């Protein structure tokens, strides 16, 4: 499973990378299907939020390491290197730039509903 991560690059600024979430676990569901899944992670919190129409946040770091899933609407994130990515319903990204000047965030075409899953501060991407 592919997701986008933004974190500190070699220059200390936020940058995008594409990462693969490993799905090493397999189990039968008893109805003839095989389910595959990732490792389990402990979350210190989960939260739903509505980002309003017209949201246009200037540079800011993620408040904590967190997975963000867009449930409705479109969220655009920009990094200092001039790249932007848009995330639509069903897209998940890892906001992992807590020690940088951060990223820009805006909503596109209306409000967006998102789901945040906080990750432990002491983890690394390899822990996911």
Nearest CA among 118, 95, 115 for reference residue 8: 95
- CATH node for 2-127: 2.60.120.10
pLDDT tens string for the chain (128 positions)? 999 999 999 999 999 999 999 999 999 999 999 999 998 888 999 999 999 999 999 999 999 999 999 999 999 999 999 999 999 999 999 999 999 999 999 999 999 999 999 998 776 665 55
What are the structural domain ranges in the chain? 2-127
How far is C-alpha 118 from the geometric centre of its chain's CA atoms?
10
Stated pTM of the model: 0.89
């Amino acid at each position: 499973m592919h997701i986008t991560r933004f974190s500190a690059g070699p220059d200390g600024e936020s940058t995008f990378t594409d990462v693969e979430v490993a799905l090493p676990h397999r189990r039968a569901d008893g109805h003839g299907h095989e389910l595959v899944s990732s490792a389990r992670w402990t979350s210190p919190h989960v939260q739903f939020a509505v980002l309003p129409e017209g949201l246009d946040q200037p540079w800011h770091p993620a408040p904590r390491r967190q997975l963000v899933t867009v449930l409705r609407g479109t969220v655009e994130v920009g990094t200092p290197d001039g790249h932007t990515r848009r995330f639509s319903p069903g897209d998940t990204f890892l906001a992992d730039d807590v020690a940088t000047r951060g990223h820009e965030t805006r909503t596109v075409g209306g409000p967006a509903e998102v789901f945040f899953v906080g990750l432990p501060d002491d983890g690394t991407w390899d822990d996911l």
